[in-house]
Structure 1
Amino acid sequence: MSKSYKFRDGMRAAIPVSLGYISIGAAFGIVAVAQGFSPWQVACLSILLYAGSGQFIMIAMLVVHAPIAIISLTIFLVNFRMFLQSLTATQIFPHQSLKSGIGMGSLMTDESFGLMVLEDATNTPITTSWMHGVNMMSYLTWILSTILGAAVGNLIANPEKLGIDYALVAMFIGLLVLTLDAMVKTERLKIVLTVLVSSAVIYGLAGIVTSSYVAVLIATIIGALIGAVMSTPKETRKAEVI
């Protein structure tokens, strides 16, 4: 019987996500500094907010002097999906403590959620310790990457012309492809087709009222959530001590 995956296994599993975070985090730091924000402000945003899309949105709205209440509401709505992701995590790890659950939910991102669903779909023996390792590796990488980007941001003029802000969307597309590939191997064709059709429809509808970038993010997250809900339930995992 294979051993359960622990904290350091989670950190290793998060390396591909972390490599993506380096480019995305640096992109955020570069864009933020180009808009007049200091490296210290960039660091505080990454540590306290820790939301890739939310941070890009905050920077853009602050630049046009949007009201704080509107900024807060927008970021809340954009990140509301985190509640659904955390709910899915409680189904995958039903025996974790309240302290563990709060820590997992606080540091969970779209990418770590996608990795969790992907590993769970392939029957990898992941544990809550493994998930904490994934989250911590991602969190630290994001913070350091944004600070690094801010430090060199003044050296790059007009970063948008380089397509830097597309890095976040590219990572979501990659995660969606990996998730679908895993589902084809482990799930019924009906589930795979449902996820594909649902993602396409959601993208089309979301694209009517928002940008294509945000539409891709919404379609990816909801598609992954639908796949997680429809997947065949596994036996309840043994209680884990963190």
Structure 2
Amino acid sequence: MNADLTFRSGLKDVIPTLFGYIGVGLAMGIVANTSHLSVLAVLLMSLIVYAGSAQFIIISMLLAGSPISAIVLSTFLINSRMILMSMSLAQYFKQDSLLNNIGIGSLLTDETFALSMNKLNQTDHRLKPNWLHGANLLAYAIWALATVVGCLLGHLITDPNQFGLDFAVVGMFIGLLYLQMITDRSKPIKLQLLVVIFVAITMYFLMRWFPGNIALLLATLLGCGFGMAVSPHD
């Protein structure tokens, strides 16, 4: 990764994260196939919903015969963390058009958000729409393709977890966190580790009382507050 902020650079920078999209996308397609969803339904879901965890939940709720209102509400809660991520990135695109901002926000994912945070360390804290459009569009296309392939191959694989596909996204985020910590020289590594440990412990206890996605949102907010409190001030 370098300081280049062109569309082509965005395509190049996002490539390492695509393995996570492929792994989870294949698993989602396989689950959808075993749940008797058609290839067209899987493709449309990936293009319209475009949210891995939410798509798994939607499939299970459809099978359970849940009402549409419950499915919509669950999807919103699962992806509510994207509000925080979009707000964090919005400050870098204040001078850009509304259309650019809508495009960025619509296709932003956990992975491209983390990628953007890493990119800021290389560009003197600058981002450009073309770079993020390149990263977002390639990730979007690969996700849709992976879910469709998974659905087509679903009858060949009865248990996707035996291939470790369920760990693909976890491994990817560990790598992104590591890169973020070693490249961000604005904060001491000990301080970053302290915040990571705080968020992990907070998440552990919150999951005892809240659903996973609500616990994640609360842990993120508390982690931001803790980071501000322990950061040295000029």
TM norm structure 2: 0.83
Q: Which amino acid is 1:65 matched to?
A: G
User: Is the deviation greater in 33-42 or in 163-172?
Assistant: 163-172
2:90 is the alignment partner of 1:95:
no
Assess if the C-alpha contact under 8 Å between 1:122 and 1:186 holds in 2: no
1:132-173 residue CA offsets vs partner (Å, 9 max, x unmatched): 111011101111111111111111123345443333333333
**Residue 220 (structure 2) aligned to one of 219, 222, 226:** 222
Structure 2: runs of 5 or more not aligned: none
Alignment of 1:4-83 (within 5 A): 4-83=4-83
> Whole-Å Cα distance in 2 between the matches of residues 74 and 206 of structure 1?
19
> Whole-Å Cα distance in 1 between the matches of residues 171 and 56 of structure 2?
15
Q: Which amino acid is 1:15 matched to?
A: I
Q: 1:39 Cα shift?
A: 1.1
1:14-73 residue CA offsets vs partner (Å, 9 max, x unmatched): 101122211111111011111211111110110000001111111122222222222211
Assess if the C-alpha contact under 8 Å between 2:181 and 2:189 holds in 1: no
Q: Which amino acid is 2:169 matched to?
A: L
1:100-126 residue CA offsets vs partner (Å, 9 max, x unmatched): 000000000000000001111343654
> Whole-Å Cα distance in 2 between the matches of residues 35 and 161 of structure 1?
19
C-alpha spacing 1:59/1:169, structure 2 compared with 1 (3 Å): farther
Partner of 2:192: 192
Assess if the C-alpha contact under 8 Å between 2:39 and 2:151 holds in 1: yes
Q: Which runs of 4+ in 1 moved over 6 A?
A: none
Q: Which amino acid is 2:49 matched to?
A: L
Matched residues, number: 226
C-alpha spacing 1:210/1:34, structure 2 compared with 1 (3 Å): farther
Assess if the C-alpha contact under 8 Å between 1:180 and 1:192 holds in 2: yes
Could you say what secondary structure the match of 1:29 adopts?
helix
C-alpha spacing 1:73/1:52, structure 2 compared with 1 (3 Å): same
Report the aligned-residue RMSD.
Answer: 3.0
> Whole-Å Cα distance in 2 between the matches of residues 96 and 195 of structure 1?
32
Partner of 2:85: 85
Partner of 1:107: 107
> Whole-Å Cα distance in 2 between the matches of residues 39 and 170 of structure 1?
28
C-alpha spacing 1:176/1:209, structure 2 compared with 1 (3 Å): farther
Q: 1:5 Cα shift?
A: 1.4
Assess if the C-alpha contact under 8 Å between 1:114 and 1:175 holds in 2: yes
TM norm structure 1: 0.81
